[in-house]
């Protein structure tokens, strides 16, 4: 009886604690009182670096998950409406309603737009416009999203001066000097491109035709985003600790990425968020975020000349360790032990290529680690600490351009996969067949209309690369395998698609993204065989259901996110999607609630 009473008392205490958790809810309407669905509502407790965002349902109601008690800044926003701001003192069930006023200034309305809506609005009704639009999408978004490029207006001469600079700037965004070779395609069409952009974003009437799009609904409206602010890199000389334009007020427009830290990320076994830092600095290789407090700590491996070794690529193995590319002087494979936060570096032999290229790291179904190299991939055995190298059939130095590896993955059978993005080719290292390397060609994307002369010129180009593709190039980028199936999913950056490759037969099926302005970057696959992908020039994450052949699109609550990596964590029947919000220097975690969970939150 005493045990029963004690158990009952413990249960009652647990329920009382649950009931005591503060909940924020309310309604969002237009200024005229009409309920607005799919509106983004955000809350940030004073003195913290954590922002939580939810969406209104079809009745205009929003419900936050339980939050810590305290004073909060809260705001609501939707495209075409002014950002409504307020504050609440959260101690129990608290209601805060918003009425959104329509934006009357067309330039402010424009600044709210995510990149894919800007690109979709660029004219393409004539063959000439369609060709130049594709040129812009393929060649002018490598360092930044279109919402950043086109947030200001210039006349034709002004745009031409900008193109003079940008046609020699690589995807790093750093000016390489006056001797740099220009992008051949931009150089050929510079006058047409400058005139095209001046019509769209010049001093006169704009040729842009921005079409409305539906706000999040259904499952997408049950999403919860948690964003953790990361300090800016002080070595970049910014002068502020955090980005003053963190993307959470869309009317301010897309921010600069100067000083940002995160490149790739994931969730540790204890729920902490980790991220790699790929920009030069003196203090951090891997960052760690405490999800309860938002506190950020730094883990450093020594690099050259007093610098921290930079890191790229990130994957967690079955033991909870993270594997990544690290550059202590010669790029290598790194392991982070999350129990001790200790970094160990494994260097390939001098006879092999170093880890490198645009590195992706993966762990296959047998426990081997795969990492990109400029010439192909290496496989690392954590048990014996030995590397095996597999090379692409097209060498990195060839007559067509940059053939370095981009994405890499390992399948459940222990085979390796990697992509030569500029060559539109995916390779398989067939380990069971003696390590034979097999080339899998990704089908061409639909090309815009062009003259025979232009096509002949494009086919003769010798500088193909991450930011200089052919008009019909799909651009296979980062990839992920289904560890419970026999499928490799590849994000095609210029082809607005995922490639589905059967890892047994090597057969390729193309799956178009929901919108042809979307640019895929990386893919991960959940336990239900559904690939998730980040869209690096869109403020959105997508998920494909192969069984239903349907897409779900999840909006981010920030503008100009420029996500370059996606990871997932599955535990206790729940999926968390982890993304580095690259441009705004944040780490983001997406979860999706059921309708029942939302109802239970209100009951408690």
Strands 332-337 and 322-327: antiparallel
Report the alpha-carbon distance of residue 451 to residue 457 in Å, rounded. Answer: 10
Q: Which residues pair with 574 in a beta bridge?
A: 571
pLDDT of residue 398: 87
- Domains in the chain (CATH in brackets) are 2-104 (2.60.40.1120), 108-200 (no CATH)
pTM as predicted: 0.94
Q: Which residues pair with 390 in a beta bridge?
A: 377
Strands 436-441 and 84-90: unpaired
Residue 494 has pLDDT above 80, yes or no: yes
pLDDT of residue 10: 40
Residues of the chain with pLDDT > 70, as a percent, come to: 97
pLDDT of residue 171: 77
Q: Which residues pair with 473 in a beta bridge?
A: none
* Per-residue pLDDT tens over the stretch 114-149: 999 999 999 999 999 999 999 999 999 887 899 999
pLDDT band of residue 7 (cuts 50, 70, 90) is very low
- Average of per-residue pLDDT across 87-107: 96
pLDDT of residue 20: 57
pLDDT of residue 130: 96
- Average of per-residue pLDDT across 232-248: 92
* Per-residue pLDDT tens over the stretch 180-224: 899 999 999 999 999 999 999 999 999 999 999 999 999 999 999
**Neighbour count for residue 42 (Cβ, 10 Å):** 23
φ, ψ dihedrals at 37, nearest 5°:
-90, 160
> First CA to last CA across the chain, in angstroms?
28
Q: Which two tokens stand for residue 412?
A: 């459940």
pLDDT band of residue 174 (cuts 50, 70, 90) is confident
pLDDT of residue 18: 42
Q: Which two tokens stand for residue 210?
A: 């921005």
Residue 69 has pLDDT above 70, yes or no: yes
pLDDT of residue 189: 96
Report the alpha-carbon distance of residue 473 to residue 458 in Å, rounded. Answer: 11
Answer for the pair 71, 87: CB distance below 8 angstroms, yes or no. Answer: yes
φ, ψ dihedrals at 147, nearest 5°:
-65, -25
pLDDT of residue 314: 97
Residue keyed to tokens 């020039």: 537
* Per-residue pLDDT tens over the stretch 334-367: 999 999 999 999 999 999 999 987 789 999 999 9
* Per-residue pLDDT tens over the stretch 575-604: 999 999 999 999 999 999 999 999 999 987
**Run of H or E residues at 4:** helix 2-20
Query: Please, what's the largest Cα pairwise distance for the chain?
Result: 91
Provide the CB-side half-sphere exposure for 280 (13 A, CA): 10
Q: In what order do the strands lie in the sheet containing 322-327?
A: 310-316, 322-327, 332-337, 342-346
Burial classification of residue 251, based on how many CB atoms lie within 10 Å of its CB (0-12 exposed, 13-18 middle, 19 or more buried): middle
**Residue 12 or residue 369, greater confidence:** 369
* Per-residue pLDDT tens over the stretch 438-453: 999 999 999 999 999 9
pLDDT of residue 3: 37
Residue 549 has pLDDT above 50, yes or no: yes
- Average of per-residue pLDDT across 500-511: 98
pLDDT of residue 226: 98
* Per-residue pLDDT tens over the stretch 304-324: 999 999 999 999 999 999 999
Residues of the chain with pLDDT > 90, as a percent, come to: 88
- Average of per-residue pLDDT across 494-509: 97
Residue 30 has pLDDT above 70, yes or no: yes
* Per-residue pLDDT tens over the stretch 245-304: 999 999 999 998 889 999 999 999 999 999 999 999 999 999 999 999 999 999 999 999
* Per-residue pLDDT tens over the stretch 321-340: 999 999 999 999 999 999 99
């Amino acid at each position: 009886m005493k045990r029963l009473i004690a158990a009952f008392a413990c249960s009652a205490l647990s329920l009382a604690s649950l009931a005591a958790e503060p909940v924020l809810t309310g309604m969002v309407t237009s200024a005229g009182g009409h309920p607005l669905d799919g509106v983004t509502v955000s809350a940030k407790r004073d003195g913290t670096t954590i922002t939580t965002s939810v969406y209104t349902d079809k009745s205009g109601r929003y419900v936050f998950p339980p939050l810590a008690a305290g004073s909060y800044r809260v705001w609501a926003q939707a495209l075409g409406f002014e950002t409504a701001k307020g504050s609440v003192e959260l101690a129990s069930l608290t209601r805060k309603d918003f009425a959104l006023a329509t934006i009357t200034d067309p330039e402010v309305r424009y600044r709210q737009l995510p990149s894919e809506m800007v690109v979709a609005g660029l004219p393409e009704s004539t063959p000439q416009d369609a060709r130049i639009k594709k040129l812009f999408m393929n060649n002018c978004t490598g360092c930044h999203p279109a919402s950043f490029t086109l947030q200001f207006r210039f006349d034709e001469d002004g745009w031409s001066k900008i193109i003079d600079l940008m046609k020699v700037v690589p995807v790093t965004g750093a000016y390489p000097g006056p001797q740099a070779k220009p992008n051949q395609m931009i150089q050929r069409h510079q006058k047409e491109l400058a005139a095209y952009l001046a019509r769209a974003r010049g001093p006169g009437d704009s040729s842009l035709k921005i079409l409305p799009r539906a706000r999040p609904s259904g499952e997408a409206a049950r999403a919860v985003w948690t964003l953790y602010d990361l300090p800016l890199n002080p070595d970049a000389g910014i002068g502020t600790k955090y980005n003053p334009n963190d993307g959470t007020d869309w009317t301010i427009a897309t921010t600069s990425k100067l000083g940002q830290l995160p490149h790739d990320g994931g969730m540790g076994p204890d729920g902490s968020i980790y991220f790699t830092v790929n920009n030069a600095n003196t203090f951090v290789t891997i960052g760690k975020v405490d999800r309860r407090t938002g506190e950020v700590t730094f883990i450093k491996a020594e690099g050259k000349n007093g610098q921290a070794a930079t890191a790229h690529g990130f994957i967690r193995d079955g033991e909870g360790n993270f594997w990544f590319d690290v550059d202590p002087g010669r790029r290598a494979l790194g392991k982070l032990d999350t129990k001790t936060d200790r970094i160990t570096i494994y260097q390939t032999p001098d006879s092999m290529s170093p880890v490198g290229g645009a590195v992706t790291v993966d762990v296959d179904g047998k426990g081997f680690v795969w990492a990109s190299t400029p010439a192909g991939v290496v496989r690392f055995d954590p048990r014996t600490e030995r590397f095996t190298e597999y090379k692409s059939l097209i060498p990195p130095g060839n007559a067509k351009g940059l053939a370095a590896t981009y994405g890499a993955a390992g399948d459940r059978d222990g085979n390796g996969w990697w992509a030569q993005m500029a060559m539109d080719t995916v390779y398989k290292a067939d380990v069971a067949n003696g390590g034979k390397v097999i080339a899998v060609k990704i089908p061409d994307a639909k090309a815009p209309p062009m003259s025979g002369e232009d096509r002949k010129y494009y086919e003769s180009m010798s500088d193909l690369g991450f930011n200089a593709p052919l008009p019909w190039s799909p651009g296979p980028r980062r990839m992920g395998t289904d560890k419970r199936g026999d499928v490799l999913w590849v994000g095609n950056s210029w082809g607005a698609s995922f490639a589905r490759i059967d890892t047994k037969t090597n057969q390729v099926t193309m799956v178009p993204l929901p919108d042809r302005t979307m640019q895929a970057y990386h893919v991960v696959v959940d336990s239900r065989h559904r690939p998730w992908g980040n869209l690096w020039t869109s403020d959105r994450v997508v998920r494909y259901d192969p069984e239903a052949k349907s897409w779900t699109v999840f909006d981010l609550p920030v503008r100009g996110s420029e996500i370059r990596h996606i990871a997932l964590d599955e535990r206790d029947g729940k999926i968390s999607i982890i993304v580095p919000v690259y441009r705004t220097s944040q780490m983001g975690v997406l979860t999706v609630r059921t309708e029942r969970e939302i109802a239970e939150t209100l009951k408690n």
